Amino acid sequence: MAEDLEPDSEFTGVRDMFFMVTRNESFYQKVEDVPEYVQQATPFFVGLILLEMVVGALKTGAPVVTISDGLTSISSGMISRIPMLFMRGCELSAYMHVWDRYRLLELPWDSAWTWWLTFLGVDFCYYWVHRLAHEVSIIWASHQVHHSSEYYNLTTALRQSLTQQFTSWIFYLPMALIVPPSVFAIHIQLNLLYQFWIHTELITDLGPLEWVFNTPKHHKVHHGRNSYCIDKNYGGILIIWDRLFGTFALEQEKVVFGLVYPINTFDILYVQLHYYMYLWRRSNTFKTISNKLSTFVNGPSWQPGKSRLGDHLENPKVTGQEVPHDPSWSLPLQLYVVVHFLLVLGTYNDLFENKMMLSQLTILGMTGCVLLTLTSLGFIIDQRTTTAAVAEMLRCVVILTLQWYGYMKPLLPSLAVPTQAFVSLSLLYWALQSFSQLLSIKKKAD
């Protein structure tokens, strides 16, 4: 810990990503006093993403982030935090419940020994959370969201699941028998923050650190769909767990990123939920209860007659020539999507900043607007013309209504009138598009 640094340093968010925290930032007796480390780091997420885009373009001569993929990743990150508007995080809530009722020992919250024990404990538990998320299909259904991008950059780190938090809490409960919740609350956040910066191809090798720590080089392999990459390098901060439990792999041939079967869509709800639907359909193809249940609790590659994890023999062969799904769409539509995304991003930020002062009905309404926007923009990127036109027309009506009643504010007060005018023009455009599409459908029917 860097105890010579002041807690109010303007680089607090960056230091948190590397566990460079001061004593005052590391010891808190009450959970309520633990800082929101992830929230503190948010501006640095943006800054590092922009830096990666600039350095990547200069280094490779090509963009490392596309608008379609990058916005889908950020949208997934936004959706993954929505449950926090209605309840405290599952991991911390369940942890405090066990601590209050069943703890066996109370380690001192202000001890360096407790701090380091918790550091190791959280990272060890994360290894098993992560490993089971790949080896149990119903948990993989949530975790696959993080692997669905065919790119590997810092926006990929933000591509998180809406549902994974509802299962991951189970694996941390043993720690609640001895470790105070305030110490756990610190480390569960810092462990997550560390894993942001390792999602980049621009950092290639960190020398001796590669033996102990999870690095971009190791995690890059984890995101590959090559046969040698699948189910490897699960570590969070430390790579030693993979070395100990036989799940470590070094990079060999070119890593091709993404799911074994790419989903080829930017529909945010499909990205989040499609695998649950797939598991349900697949279970219905089996006749016995045993096989139906095995579909959900065994590995994604399991087949009747094979071991619990199955094998990867039927997976599509990776040649290294694969090209990520990146549909061509017009520059005006790209600008349109980016502007409307920034508008909803402002609403999303206001929602979290003011959630304690808003009624549940207001939160539900604004949350619905955010989800509708992210879904509709995905339709535009996918070029689902008719669906996008209808969804956008509805969405613009909702936004104008929220603006009229003061629930949706512009990014700057001076932009209130231009924003309303822009949304009104958008509504007119999509209404005309919808009318045109309906006429076209009617002509085809005739």
Cα(446)–Cα(436) distance, rounded to whole angstroms? 15
Q: Report H helices in 310-415.
A: 331-353, 360-382, 385-404
| DSSP 8-class letter at 302 | -
pLDDT at 94 over 80: yes
22 pLDDT exceeds 80? no
b (16+ CB within 10 A) / e for 298-317: bbbbbeeeeeeebebeeeee
Collapse the DSSP code of 90 into the 3-class scheme (helix H, G, I; strand E, B; otherwise coil) and give the result: helix
In this predicted model, what pLDDT tens digit does every residue of 34-70 receive, in sequence order?
888 888 888 889 999 999 999 999 998 888 999 999 9
**Quick one: pLDDT at residue 142?**
97
Q: Reply yes or no on whether the pLDDT at 2 is more than 70.
A: no
* In the predicted structure, residue 9 carries a pLDDT above the cut 60: no
- Residue 126 clears pLDDT 80, i.e. is over it: yes
pLDDT the model gives residue 42: 84
Alpha carbon 52 to its chain's center: 18
pLDDT higher than threshold 60 for residue 344: yes
pTM of the predicted model, to two decimals?
0.91
